[in-house]
A and B are shown apart, each in its own frame.
Chain A
Amino acid sequence: MPLYEHVIISRPSLSPVQVKSLVTELTDSMCANGGNVVGDEYWGLKTLAYRIKRNRKAHYTFLQTDSPAAAVQEMDRLMRLHEDVIRSLTIQVETHNPLPTVQMAMAERAQTDSNNKTKDDESTPQEGVDAGADVDTGAGDALEGAAAPAVETAETKTTAETETTLNKPNETETT
């Protein structure tokens, strides 16, 4: 039977437990049609590189399956109709790469980093950075640096506006 890889992106408002039940719901329909799940991974709540349906983060689930095409098509159809799945990708592969994937390793590293940070009582803003998934803290700092001058220009603009309004009555008096 052909081998497939699926990535399921679900809404951030769900809890991890709900995400899991959503995925089992989908895989049950596939297994009922003769497929089976070879491997699955939960990459966590990741920041999206761009907004999807006005969401900046989403849950990522990765599946490796071995099932007939009809079962996969059925699962795809259900994913398309499901309102909690905002995006999904199914591709056929020749061989399954051994787990854990690179994304899972990154998720685990991020998890251990956050655990260590809570121990040390340091707070660095890793969440809440919009652009760029797989954010390195360097990229995050660059974005924050970019935000600061934008605020400054806004302030200078308002002062310029007040100056022009002050100037106007003087000009009319001279004319």
Chain B
Amino acid sequence: MRKKVFFRKSRSCPFTGPQAPKIDYKDTRLLQRYTSERGKIVPVRVSSVSATKQRELARAIKRARFLALMPYVVK
């Protein structure tokens, strides 16, 4: 197995822990941190969010998009 040259120190999920913010589809400022410039949802390997929280986050972002609180695509 190839040894990873750039081994990143394992960062913890920002949504787990005592001071963690709640994922809310209405909190667009929080959600925008996890979308790219184009408006796409950032993958887990970049944001280091845990799998369950990423699913919640994706659900919240999609709800916010449906409510036109966030765009689907940013040109």
**Is there contact, CB below 8 Å, between A133 and B68?**
yes
Contact partners of B24 in chain A: CB under 8 A: 97, 101-102
**Is there contact, CB below 8 Å, between B29 and A102?**
yes
* B interface bracket (residues with beta carbon within 8 Å of A): 10 to 19
**Is there contact, CB below 8 Å, between B68 and A87?**
yes
CB of A31 within 8 Å of the partner chain: no
**Is there contact, CB below 8 Å, between B27 and A9?**
no
Evaluate whether A48 and B29 lie within 8 angstroms (CB atoms) in the complex, with A89-B63, A97-B24 already known. no
Q: Which residue of A lies closest to B70 (CB)?
A: A49
Q: How distant is B66 from chain A, measured CB to nearest CB, in Å?
A: 6
CB of B26 within 8 Å of the partner chain: yes
* A interface bracket (residues with beta carbon within 8 Å of B): 10 to 19
**Is there contact, CB below 8 Å, between B26 and A102?**
yes
Q: Which residue of A lies closest to B27 (CB)?
A: A102
Query: Which of B22, B27, B66, B70 touches A133 (beta carbons < 8 Å)?
Result: B70
Of B26, B32, B71, the most chain A CB neighbours within 10 A belong to B26
| Beyond A49-B69, A91-B63, A132-B71, 16 additional pairs, beta carbon < 8 A | A9-B67, A49-B72, A50-B72, A87-B68, A89-B67, A97-B24, A102-B24, A131-B71, A131-B74, A131-B75, A132-B74, A133-B28, A133-B69, A133-B71, A134-B28, A134-B32
**Could you give 17 example pairs across A and B, Cβ below 8 Å?**
A7-B26, A9-B67, A49-B68, A49-B71, A50-B72, A87-B66, A89-B63, A89-B67, A97-B22, A97-B24, A102-B24, A102-B29, A103-B28, A131-B74, A132-B74, A133-B70, A134-B29
